Amino acid sequence: MKTKQKRIYLAVSAIIFSAIACNAPQITRLTPSVYPTIDLTLTALSEPVTAAPTQTIVVPTASATPSVTLPIPTSTFTSIPNTATFTPIPNTARPTSTSTKVSYVGPAIRPGTKIKAYYLRREPTIDGVFDEWELPRYPVESVVYGADHWSGRDDLSANVMVGWDDFNLYIAVKVIDDKYVQKANGEDLFMGDSLEVLMDTKLANDYYLEILSLDDYQLGISPGSPEPGTNTEAYLWYPRDERGGRGKVKVGAMFTDNGYRAEFKIPWDTFGIKPVKGTHYGFAFSVSDNDRSGENVQQSMVSSSPERQLTNPMTWGDLELLGQYSP
């Protein structure tokens, strides 16, 4: 009887103790240890780019808050925009309305070689014969190109006469040339025995301008190919917008014992000129030489203007239109 009562007592005691343990505030449950995630940003720049993994980060707050899922960054690198892209720099050197304007205006006459063109009451026959010409002759013998290929006046030199009327500019030239070679044509005609006229038609307007402008002209003349008087032609090289053959320029030429003679008439509209007595123009007359029968090449050039440079009109001489010639 005593043994049965003891068992009942122990069973009741166990039930009471279990109930008290479940409600005791001092007792908490143990949780497993939590380790921090590895910081992938330290290796992201050297790792291949892949899809971003995720991890669960517990954000502690004063009250219970649901866990938030955030992506783990794979790189802290942010691409730098290409700051080297070219941006045009505005031209601050351009003159403005307040800038000082540069003037090239100057005297209406060049200080270099002076050639006088006399008014002709009768048009000369353009045939290479100088019967109608009784004008002053000006030397053309200053070597301005190819001095190493020039052996003296017998190799290449000339003298020139210039006349004019209301319609044309007339030029007659006697050339001393020990060997006549002209097989080039068109824009290449200077690569053979040939003649050149340079004209600055508005001399005072750009007197101090050291480069070619639209009022500067370069005209080439072929006395003939393969010999003087045969297949003559004229070609305008400058201004570039007007370049091309000039069929209205008439040329007559013929052999002499030591070279050739040539006459030609150039309509004033070739140069855009309306002639007026007393007017001055920038002017240079030149002769090119080629002594190589099998090759088109400009070996040398002599000019009426010792300082002649094609691209600098300030180095050209002066042409003046005068009345009739009186010896």
**Under 8 Å CB-to-CB from 225, ≥6 apart: which residues?**
182, 183, 184, 185, 192, 231
- pLDDT at 25 > cutoff 50: no
Any idea which residue has 């006349």 for tokens? Answer: 163
Give the pairing of strands 168-177 and 156-164. Answer: antiparallel
With cut-offs at 50, 70 and 90, classify the pLDDT of residue 102.
Answer: confident
Q: Which amino acid is at 262?
A: A
Q: What is the mean pLDDT of residues 142-169?
A: 98
Q: What is the predicted pLDDT for the residue at 99?
A: 55
Higher pLDDT, 287 or 58: 287
Please report the pLDDT score of residue 7 as a whole number.
57
Judged against a pLDDT cut of 80, whether residue 8 lies above it is answered with no
Mean pLDDT of the region 289-315: 97
Q: Hey, what amino acid is at 307? A: E
In this predicted structure, what is the pLDDT of residue 315? 97
Task: Give residue-wise pLDDT tens across range 289-299.
Answer: 999 999 999 99
Is residue 28 predicted with pLDDT exceeding 80?
Answer: no
Contacting residues for 142 by C-beta, under 8 A, at least 6 apart: 302, 303, 304, 305, 306, 308
Contacts of 208 (CB under 8 A, 6+ apart): 104, 105, 106, 314
CATH topology of domain 114-322: Immunoglobulin-like (2.60.40)
> How would you classify the pairing of strands 317-322 and 114-119?
parallel
For range 139-157, the mean pLDDT: 98
With vertex at residue 195, the alpha carbon angle to CA 306 and CA 168, rounded to the nearest 5 degrees, is: 105
Question: Residue 38: is its pLDDT beyond 90?
Answer: no
pLDDT over 50 (residue 92): no
pLDDT at 325 over 50: yes
Q: Are 251 and 223 in contact (CB under 8 A)?
A: yes
| pLDDT, tens digit, 9 for 90 and up, residues 181-225 | 999 999 999 999 999 999 999 999 999 999 999 999 999 999 999
Which of 30 and 200 is assigned the larger pLDDT?
A: 200
Per-residue pLDDT, 101: 75
The pTM is what?
0.70
